[in-house]
């Protein structure tokens, strides 16, 4: 069995429950998209870079409404969220050409949710050979690109026109 280790994330997971402000609600209303790593907002959804990524171009898509579980989504919210996720995958494909993706929801702390109170979809591009010895031996993740550069690159690939 191969195990994917991400020990640098534990400090974030521990702090997430202590955060006074929800990062997804903040991104939904942000007047500083650069600071909040916002890629795109639609009427019902928001997409932002993960500030503690597993890989370059790790994006999270969330409903703008603060809800914790998928069964609480209205049909129009669900359609909007997955349409935005589709748009994000297309932008990552065009800009980064990954070999595959991990896409999913973590519902509840035991499932790995760092922010339990606000539902979000993780979109994590993967490349052949994107694992190395650094996380295992040095508890260090090598990120080859600055978040601001990733933000700029992905924004350039997204359809312009603001909210849908």
Q: Which of 58, 118, 120, 122 is catalytic?
A: 120
**Is 120 one of the catalytic residues?**
yes
Cα separation of 148 and 67, whole Å? Answer: 28
Edge-to-edge strands, sheet with 45-49: 38-41, 45-49, 59-63, 121-126, 100-105
Is residue 47 within 8 A of residue 60, CB to CB? The reply is yes
CA distance 89 to 41: 15
- Which residues are catalytically annotated? 120
């Amino acid at each position: 069995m191969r195990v994917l280790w991400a020990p640098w994330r534990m400090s974030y997971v521990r702090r997430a429950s202590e955060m006074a402000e929800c990062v997804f609600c903040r991104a939904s209303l942000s007047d500083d998209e650069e600071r909040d790593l916002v890629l795109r907002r639609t009427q019902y959804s928001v997409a932002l870079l993960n500030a503690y990524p597993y890989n370059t171009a790790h994006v999270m898509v969330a409903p703008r409404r603060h809800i914790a579980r998928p069964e609480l989504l209205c049909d129009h919210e669900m359609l909007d969220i997955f349409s935005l996720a589709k748009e994000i995958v297309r932008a990552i494909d065009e800009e980064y050409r990954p070999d595959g993706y991990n896409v999913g929801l973590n519902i509840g702390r035991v499932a790995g949710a760092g922010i339990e109170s606000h539902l979000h979809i993780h979109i994590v591009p993967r490349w052949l050979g994107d694992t190395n010895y650094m996380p295992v031996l040095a508890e260090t993740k090598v990120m080859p690109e600055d978040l601001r550069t990733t933000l700029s690159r992905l924004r350039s690939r997204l359809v312009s026109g603001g909210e849908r």
